[in-house]
Amino acid sequence: MHNEWTTRQGLMKKIALFMASGRPSGYSSQATRIIKEIASACASQIELVQINTYNTKVRHCSGCEICKDTGECVFNDDDMQKICKILEETDVAVISTPVYYSSAPGSLKAILDRTQPYFYHPLKNEPDKKIFYLIQFGGSRPYPAQFETIPQQMLHMARNLNGYIVAELSFPATDQWDGTLPAQVSSQIEEFARTLLQEPV
């Protein structure tokens, strides 16, 4: 069992957990807590870092394209350098996010946009592919393309980081819930967490 939790280099599995909600008790936050609780049972085999995107200071991409030549963003006075280091070193990245206007919340989108240097200089020399998981919560009732935009955005970033999206969970009509994750949803997220923790890297 121990080998299931380690990388091919024999190191601890590194997991980055991105929570993209400004609500401490929101559904994205509740999903994050479930994953952390399950991960805590395997603390000796994994290294878990959590990033609340609303607590990060990330300047908006200006589209200057200087990174096309240099491979680095001109902005070096915010949290993006730390986030990039986490993304480069992680084996598994999990994003738990609400859906705003069929897209990612601003704090998450700002991070996605600032990974533009990887578009021009992708991590193709990494020996192991990174694994991405996505959990989405949409407040409105289901409608066409409700959950299509964020996975597409994540796919672009994952490819540039030499990764791929393994699985996603999407839950519509959360405005009809009572503030607590329904038991069936919690069970799905628990199973989701166990799967991602046991995924070989």
Chain segment 76-85, per-residue pLDDT in tens: 999 999 999 9
CA distance 147 to 169: 10
Banded pLDDT at 40 (limits 50, 70, 90): confident
CB-based contacts of 120-128 (< 8 A; 24+ apart in sequence) = 120/67, 120/68, 120/71, 121/67, 121/71, 122/159, 122/160, 122/161, 122/162, 123/88, 123/160, 123/161, 123/162, 124/162, 126/162, 127/8, 127/9, 128/7, 128/8, 128/9, 128/91, 128/201
What dotted CATH number matches 12-198? 3.40.50.360
Whole-structure pTM over 0.75, yes or no? yes
What is the per-residue pLDDT for 1? 23
125 pLDDT higher than 70 = no
Question: Which residue in 197, 137, 148 sits closest to 173, CA to CA?
Answer: 137
Q: Residues 66-79: pLDDT tens digits?
A: 999 999 999 999 99
Banded pLDDT at 46 (limits 50, 70, 90): confident
* pLDDT of res. 130: 87
**Reported confidence tier of residue 9, pLDDT bands at 50, 70, 90:** very low
